[in-house]
Amino acid sequence: MPKALVLGYVGVLLFMIGDGVESGFIAPYMADHGAATDVRAGYVITVYGIAVMLASWFSGALCQVWGPRRVMWIGLVIWAVFDAAYLLFALGTENYPLMLVFYGIRGFGYPLFAFGFLVWITNTAPKARLGTAVGWFYFAFTGGLPTLGSLWSSLTIPWFGRLGTLWSALGLILLGGAIALVGARRRPGGDRMAPPEVTTGQSLLNSVSIIWTHPRVLVGCLVRVINTAPEFGMLVYLPRIFSDDIGFGEDKWLQLLAIIYGTNIFFNLIFGVLSDRIGWRTTIAGFGALGCAISVTTLYFVPVWLGPDYFWVAVLAGMFYGATLAGFVPISALIPSMAPENKGGSMALLNLGAGGAAFVGPALASLFFPLVGAGGVTLVFLALYLVAFVLTLLLKLPEERGGEPVAPAASRTDAAATPS
């Protein structure tokens, strides 16, 4: 971890805890307070996902011309202002159109803040320790959203209620933002990185051109979408099913959510190391895609079949899913290495895939849930992971396609950098 940015890591952790506070209950809460149905609440989350997808893509290009520090400030302000508006004027008055507007715009906030800091890290950390530095970033990122965020909710809801818990999230966001930005205000790497003649439009265009110069990177982007799309999609319908239909209650559901992603953090490290030994593509295809195809169906169907007396089985199924999600870890090492002369564009497209998952997952859940129910949606996610398995087989390094080999040092620098 770069010592100059330690407070930045702490700030990102607190920020993402605040962002993850709502992940385990916001869909049913909106359905009961203005959205009217779970499907309409899913539409709100889908709009939010579109904003996250766009901001994830833009974050890297904007950091080049505006600087990570400014991009992070913009993300913090967007999140704070529109979250307050959402709580006061949308949820507070149970106004569904305002939910779509304010919650959607708020979605631009966390990618600009978090991925802005990620660019700052890559611009500051020594090359020999860049993989570790970025790994610590995702430890903070995933540790907050949704792991510790869900745990925070399970502790605060009995005391302050759901609305009070949502207000506490805003406090965590402001605290984390202050620690990160004030603590790193004089640190190098936070200013403009592109030459003076490069415009914002040119920077955005460079992040797009890789689509036609390296089409296999686009395939990797699709795999990255599939990686976490079911994760976001299940948050649309699983909270009510696990809390009410199965009968675990909201407190156990939130604890289960924290366990799932706590397991994911641990296995991010395991699969990062393992992938260097058995191959990045092998790890993604075998442990990630095929593993998630099995675990996503286990996570839903086994608890539904067994009922409320077998919470410990649901915990095991959740840990299984959290572990296999980490099988996609090496994709951040594989994709940039497929286009070594344009790693910046590769990472921009990979961020687009990460943000796209927040849109695609809820969109699929909202679309198919009224047609085939929760079980049917889970089978759709099973099919997606099988598609990811096939697509992963197409992700080959230049030397495997008869091109120039990638320098080992450059390849291993990014190993295990981006947990799912």
> Chain centroid to CA 146: how far?
9
Question: For residue 307, what are the contacts with CB-CB under 8 A and spacing of at least 6?
Answer: 246, 247
Predicted local distance difference test score (pLDDT) of residue 393: 94
Domains in the chain, CATH or no CATH each: 1-185 (1.20.1250.20), 209-397 (1.20.1250.20)
DSSP state of 103: I
CB-CB neighbours of 63 under 10 Å: 29
Cβ atoms of residues 402 and 411 within 8 Å: no
Whether the full predicted model's pTM is greater than 0.75, yes or no, is: yes
CA dihedral 243, 253, 382, 284 (to 10 degrees): 170
Q: What is the pLDDT along the chain (420 residues), one digit of tens a residue?
A: 667 788 999 999 999 999 999 988 898 999 999 998 888 998 998 899 889 989 988 887 888 789 889 999 999 999 999 999 999 999 999 999 999 999 999 999 999 999 888 888 877 777 556 656 766 787 888 888 878 888 899 899 999 999 999 999 999 999 999 999 987 777 777 788 777 887 888 878 877 888 888 899 899 999 999 999 999 999 889 998 999 999 999 889 988 988 998 898 888 778 877 887 788 899 999 999 999 999 999 999 999 999 999 999 999 999 999 999 989 988 877 887 787 766 666 777 888 898 889 889 999 998 999 999 999 999 999 999 999 999 999 998 877 766 544 433 333 333 333 444
- Taking the C-alpha atoms of residue 397 and residue 250, their distance in angstroms, rounded to an integer, is 46
Q: Where are the alpha helices (DSSP H) in 307-342?
A: 311-325, 331-338
Pick from 264, 333, 304, 356: which is nearest to 58 by CA? Answer: 356
**pLDDT at site 260:** 92
Q: Give the CA diameter of the chain.
A: 65
- In contact, 100 and 44? CB cutoff 8 Å: yes
The whole-number pLDDT of residue 410 equals: 37
Tokens (6 digits) for 223: 């795999």
Omega of the bond prior to 68 within 30 degrees of 0, cis? no
How far apart CA 107 and CA 409 sit, in angstroms, is 36
Note the pLDDT of residue 403.
52
Residue 145's nearest CA partner among 78, 76, 38, 232 is: 232
Phi, psi (degrees; rounded to nearest 5) at 292: -70, -30
207 closest CA partner among 71, 403, 339: 339
Tokens at residue 306, please? Answer: 């067994």
> What pLDDT is attached to residue 413?
35
What pLDDT sits at residue 411?
37
Query: What pLDDT score does 53 carry?
Result: 87
DSSP 404: P
Tokens linked to 41: 């609440």
Give residue for tokens 């507007």: 101
3-state secondary structure 191-247: CCCCCCCCCHHHHHHHHHHHHHHCHHHHHHHHHHHHHHHHHHHHHHHHHHHHHHHCC
- Residue 36: CA atoms inside 13 Å, Cβ hemisphere, count? 4
DSSP designation for 99: I
Cα–Cα dist 92/173, whole Å: 20
Specify whether the CB–CB gap between 119 and 182 falls below 8 A: no
Cα 331 to Cα 2, 130, 324, 338, 406: the distances in Å are 23, 16, 14, 10, 16
* CB neighbour list of residue 108: distance below 8 Å, 6 or more residues apart: 51, 52, 54, 55, 75, 78
